[in-house]
C-alpha cells in the first residue's frame, strides 16, 4: 500500500467531550449531574458543540463504510483487503462479514462509534443548554445550540442511512434505549432537521472560520439554514432501500426542502464544500482515496454507461472509449505512472489510464484501467493530501433532488430538464433532455447525473443504486448493527448480503 490511512487529531477543545468517544447508550439520570458539572462553563459547552460537528464531519468523510459502499454498488472497484473492498466485491456477492474479530469489522464499527460519538457530544451540549448554561449573549447561545442540533440531526441521519436499525437518543432520553428500525431512525432525524431549520431561519450570525471552514461562503445562520434543508432532502430521498420505497416517499416534502437548500428558487447557489487542512482538523478520506492512483479505480460497469463501446465487465482487455461519449471521460491518460505527476485536463473527471492494479487471482473483474481524478489535488498521491476544497454536497446534487421531486410529483418538467442539463450538457456534452422526453426518460437522466456528476461526494453509489433496485443480486442494502455491539447487548449476531440472504437486486 502506498499510503496508510491517517486518523485526525481534534483541536484541543475536543478533549472536553464527555461522551463523544463511545456510544451514549447508558443514559440513566445518575450520570447526568457529572455531565452537567463537566460542561458547566460556557467555554466547555461551546467547545463540545463545535467538537460534535467536527466528529460528525470526520465520520461522514471516513473510508468506512463509504469505500465499501462505492465498491459493492459497482461505482468503484478494488481487490485490496482494506476497508471492506475485497470481500464485498466478490461475484456472486457474499454476506458482509459481521464479526467482532473479522477483518472487515471496521466497516460497521467505525461509523457506528463515530456517529454515536458525535451524537453523544451534541446531546451533552444540548443537555447543558437545557440546564441553563448561557454563552456571552442570548444570540451566541442560540447560535451554538443550533450548531449542536445540526450535529445531532446529521448523525442520526447517517445512522438511519447506513444501518438497518440503530438507537435513537437525544438530550431528553432516559433509561436504556432500544433498537429502532431504520425507518424510525430516519423519522427521528427528519424531526431534528425540522428543528434545525426552524432555529436557523432568518438568523444573521456568522461562525468563526474554524468552526466549519467552508469554501467561497461564510458559515452563518443563513448558510446553515440552506445546508440543513438540503441535508433534510437528501436524508429522506436516500433513505429508501428499494424502488418501491422510493416510489412511496413524500416527494412533495423533499421538493420543499430542496427548493430552500443550497440551490433553489431565487437564491445564489453554493456548494457545501469544506476546505481540507492536510489531516489536522478537517479532511475527507472518502474523497481522497479514489482521487488518486492508490488502487481504487472506476468500475467499468460505470464506464459502460458513459461510453457504450467499453464492456461492462473487465476481462483483462483494456478498452479505451471511442465514438461519442461523455466529455467528463477522457481517452487520454492524465498521470505519468512512473512519477505520479498529473497533467489534468479541465472538465475531465475520469481518464483511461491503461493501467490496472491488484492481483488477478482475486478476481479479474475487480480491475479497471479507468481512474477518477476530478479532485486529484486532494488525493493520497499528494503530500500531505487532504488540502483544499472538498465537496461534500454539490449544487448539482440539490438541483437533481429538485428535478427528481418535480418529476415524481408531476410538477414542472421543463424546469426539471433545465436542472438536469446544467451538468448533462455543460459538463457532459450530451444531448439535452426536454419536458417532451417524459417522466421515465427524465428519471433515467437524473439517475445518470447522480452516478457521474456526484461521484465520490457524499451521494455515494449504494444510497443511489439501492433505491432504484440497481444492485447486483446479493448486495447488502444496509449494514447490520456491529457484532461487537450485539454481543455486548446479548443479542444474536446477524448480517446481510449473499444471494441466499438478499436475493433482491438488478
pLDDT (tens digit per residue) in 179-221:
999 999 999 999 999 999 999 999 999 999 999 999 999 999 9
Topology, domain 20-241+475-489: 1.25.40
pLDDT over threshold 80, residue 488:
yes
Distances in Å between the alpha carbon of 477 and those of 49, 301, 368, 492? 32, 19, 24, 20
Q: Distance between CA 58 and CA 279 in Å, rounded?
A: 10
Mean pLDDT score of the chain: 92
pLDDT at residue number 32: 45
Whether the link from the prior residue into 105 is cis, omega within 30° of 0, is no
Q: Distance between CA 259 and CA 270 in Å, rounded?
A: 13
* Residue 21: band (very low, low, confident or very high) from pLDDT cuts 50, 70, 90: very low
* pTM summary value: 0.93
Say whether 214 sits in a helix, a strand or coil: strand
Tell me the mean pLDDT in the region 136-162. Answer: 98
pLDDT at residue number 499: 85
Q: Which ranges constitute the DSSP H helices of 24-167?
A: 32-38, 42-60, 66-72, 106-130, 138-162
Say whether 435 sits in a helix, a strand or coil: helix
Quick check: 88 and 72 in contact, CB under 8 A? yes
Domain ranges of the chain: 20-241+475-489, 300-373, 395-453
H or E segment at 387? Answer: strand 387-393
Q: Distance between CA 411 and CA 346 in Å, rounded?
A: 35
Residue listed under C-alpha cell 479541465? 346
Could you give the percent of the chain with pLDDT greater than 70?
91
Report the helix count and the strand count for the chain, using DSSP H and E: 16, 9
Phi, psi (degrees; rounded to nearest 5) at 393: -130, 120
Q: Distance between CA 45 and CA 306 in Å, rounded?
A: 50
pLDDT over threshold 80, residue 342:
yes
Q: Distance between CA 357 and CA 93 in Å, rounded?
A: 21
Amino acid at each position: 500500500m502506498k499510503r496508510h490511512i491517517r486518523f485526525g487529531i481534534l483541536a484541543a477543545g475536543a478533549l472536553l467531550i464527555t461522551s463523544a468517544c463511545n456510544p451514549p447508550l447508558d443514559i440513566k439520570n445518575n450520570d447526568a449531574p457529572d455531565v452537567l458539572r463537566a460542561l458547566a462553563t460556557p467555554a466547555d459547552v461551546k467547545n463540545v458543540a463545535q467538537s460534535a460537528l467536527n466528529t460528525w464531519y470526520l465520520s461522514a468523510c471516513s473510508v468506512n463504510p463509504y469505500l465499501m459502499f462505492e465498491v459493492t454498488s459497482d461505482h468503484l472497484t478494488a481487490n485490496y483487503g482494506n476497508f471492506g473492498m475485497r470481500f464485498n466485491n466478490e461475484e456472486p456477492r457474499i454476506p458482509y462479514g459481521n464479526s467482532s474479530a473479522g477483518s472487515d469489522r471496521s466497516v460497521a464499527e467505525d461509523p457506528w462509534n463515530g456517529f454515536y460519538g458525535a451524537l453523544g457530544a451534541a446531546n451533552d451540549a444540548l443537555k447543558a443548554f437545557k440546564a441553563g448554561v448561557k454563552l456571552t449573549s442570548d444570540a451566541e447561545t442560540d447560535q451554538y445550540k443550533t450548531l449542536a442540533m445540526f450535529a445531532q440531526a446529521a448523525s442520526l441521519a447517517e445512522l438511519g442511512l447506513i444501518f438497518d436499525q440503530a438507537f435513537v437518543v437525544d438530550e431528553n432520553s432516559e433509561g436504556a434505549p432500544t433498537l429502532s428500525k431504520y425507518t424510525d431512525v430516519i423519522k427521528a432525524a427528519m424531526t431534528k432537521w425540522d428543528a434545525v431549520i426552524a432555529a436557523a431561519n432568518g438568523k444573521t450570525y456568522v461562525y468563526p472560520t474554524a468552526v466549519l471552514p467552508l469554501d467561497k461562503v461564510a458559515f452563518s445562520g443563513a448558510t446553515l439554514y440552506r445546508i440543513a434543508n438540503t441535508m433534510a432532502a437528501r436524508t429522506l430521498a436516500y433513505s429508501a432501500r428499494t424502488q418501491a420505497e422510493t416510489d412511496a416517499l413524500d416527494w412533495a416534502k423533499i421538493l420543499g426542502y430542496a427548493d430552500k437548500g443550497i440551490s433553489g428558487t431565487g437564491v445564489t447557489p453554493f456548494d457545501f464544500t469544506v476546505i481540507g487542512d492536510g489531516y489536522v482538523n478537517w479532511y475527507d478520506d472518502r474523497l481522497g482515496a479514489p482521487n488518486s492512483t492508490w488502487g481504487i479505480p472506476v468500475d467499468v460497469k460505470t464506464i459502460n454507461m458513459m461510453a457504450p463501446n467499453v464492456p461492462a465487465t473487465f476481462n483483462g482487455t483494456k478498452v479505451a472509449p471511442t465514438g461519442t461519449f461523455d466529455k467528463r471521460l477522457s481517452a487520454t491518460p492524465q498521470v505519468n505512472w512512473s512519477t505520479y505527476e498529473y497533467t489534468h485536463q479541465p472538465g475531465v473527471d475520469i481518464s483511461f489510464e491503461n493501467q490496472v492494479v491488484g492481483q488477478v487471482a482475486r478476481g479479474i473483474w475487480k480491475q479497471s484501467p479507468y481512474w477518477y481524478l476530478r479532485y486529484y489535488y486532494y488525493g493520497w498521491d499528494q503530500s500531505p493530501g487532504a488540502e483544499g476544497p472538498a465537496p461534500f454536497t454539490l449544487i448539482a446534487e440539490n438541483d437533481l433532488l429538485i428535478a427528481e421531486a418535480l418529476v415524481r410529483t408531476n410538477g414542472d418538467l421543463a424546469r426539471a430538464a433545465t436542472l438536469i442539463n446544467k451538468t448533462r450538457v455543460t459538463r457532459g456534452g450530451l444531448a439535452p433532455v426536454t419536458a417532451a422526453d417524459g417522466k421515465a426518460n427524465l428519471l433515467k437522466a437524473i439517475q445518470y447525473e447522480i452516478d457521474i456528476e456526484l461521484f465520490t461526494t457524499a451521494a455515494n453509489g449504494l444510497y443511489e443504486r439501492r433505491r432504484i433496485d440497481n444492485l447486483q443480486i446479493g448486495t447488502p442494502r444496509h449494514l447490520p448493527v456491529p457484532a461487537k455491539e450485539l454481543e455486548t447487548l446479548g443479542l444474536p449476531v446477524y448480517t446481510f448480503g449473499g444471494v441466499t440472504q438478499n436475493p433482491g437486486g438488478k
